[in-house]
Amino acid sequence: MKRLRKYSVPILMLAVFETIAVTLWLTKNNIFYLFNFSYIGLSLALGTFLFIRQHKYARRIVQLMVGLYMLIYLGIISRENMQIEGFWYYLFTGVFEAATIHYAVAKIFGPLLFGRGWCGYACWTAMALDFLPYKVPMQPRKKIGWIRYTTFAASVVFVAALFLAKVGNIERIMFWAFIIGNVLYYAVGIALAFAFKDNRAFCKYICPITVFLKPMSYFAMLRVQCDKDKCINCGKCKRVCPMDVDVTDHSRKRENGTECILCMECVKNCPRKAL
């Protein structure tokens, strides 16, 4: 019983994803959904299981398992555009498939449950950026987060323009938009990481998906909390946080609270086990 309680988070995660997998398989009559969400659920459950077992690379393992699967299998081999323009494309065509389901689960409604877990454990852009040398930001945060709204708007305008201009074979354009978009994301992400000495600069200032992720994760059920009775205000948690979150503040309004990617670096490094 004690062991079951210890592993309740990976068990719950697996159960949630299996429920989604079976529901979509049966309602959409497509076995791909069973395979897809079971694989992602298993990867995430494995990651949290390894984290509980204090495996050093738990998060990186799951990040590579999910990120590479989505980038190479879904994006390149299956030619599904899972980027934000793919979401708009399926939404405008009124099809609840591929990118629309992915966004609903991982980026719009899922964050109500697991916050920005997507950003810590599954995103294929961050999967590469996290290999760079600035795991902890070496410079203060810049006030340029507004850029994300322009990239978000640009993605809507791009897809809307294709529909308004009645361009043919949009499916093919979406595939190339995925390839070119990813190359651009990696190039800008790497350049910014070195310019700002911060691996996650792209996430903080440019990524359009945060327009969905931030407000939804404000209400997340799963969040790192601080036991004030144990905390000695040593500040270590803030120094190791890649997203500049003030995790010692218990409230949802804490500084950069909607930026937390649940990487658990603060938890691992707290000398008093207060998190």
CB of 228 to ligand SF4, least distance (A): 9
Distance (Å, whole) CA 213 – CA 98: 18
Q: Report in angstroms how near the CB of residue 145 gets to ligand SF4 at its nearest.
A: 11
Token pair belonging to 269: 């490094």
- Choose which of 105, 126, 128, 177 interacts with ligand SF4 (CB under 6 A): 126
Which residue carries 């070119």 as its tokens? Answer: 180
Residue 16 contacts ligand SF4 per CB under 6 A:
no
Q: How far is the CB of 275 from ligand SF4 (least distance, A)?
A: 5
Question: Which of 45, 129 has the CB closer to ligand SF4?
Answer: 129
Among 70, 207, 216, 220, binds ligand SF4 (CB under 6 A): 207
Structure tokens at 106: 């991982």
Sign of CA dihedral 202, 207, 212, 215: positive
Phi and psi based region of residue 79 (left: phi greater than 0; alpha: psi -120 to 50; beta: remaining): left
Closer of 181 and 242 to ligand SF4 (Cβ): 242
Tokens 């309004």 belong to residue? 253
Count of residues in contact with ligand SF4, rule CB under 6 A? 37
Neighbours of 124 (CB within 10 A): 23
Q: Work out whether 232 is an interface residue with ligand SF4 (CB under 6 A).
A: yes
The token pair at 211 is 């327009």
The DSSP secondary-structure symbol of 2 reads: H
The least distance separating ligand SF4 from the CB of residue 203, rounded to whole angstroms, comes to 3
Question: Please, are residues 17 and 41 in contact by the beta-carbon 8 Å criterion?
Answer: yes
| Binding status of residue 233 toward ligand SF4 by CB under 6 A | yes
Least Å distance, CB 49 to ligand SF4, is 18
Q: What are the residues binding ligand SF4 (CB under 6 A)?
A: 119, 123, 125-126, 202-203, 207, 209-210, 224, 226, 231-237, 240-243, 245, 247-248, 260-266, 270-272, 274-275
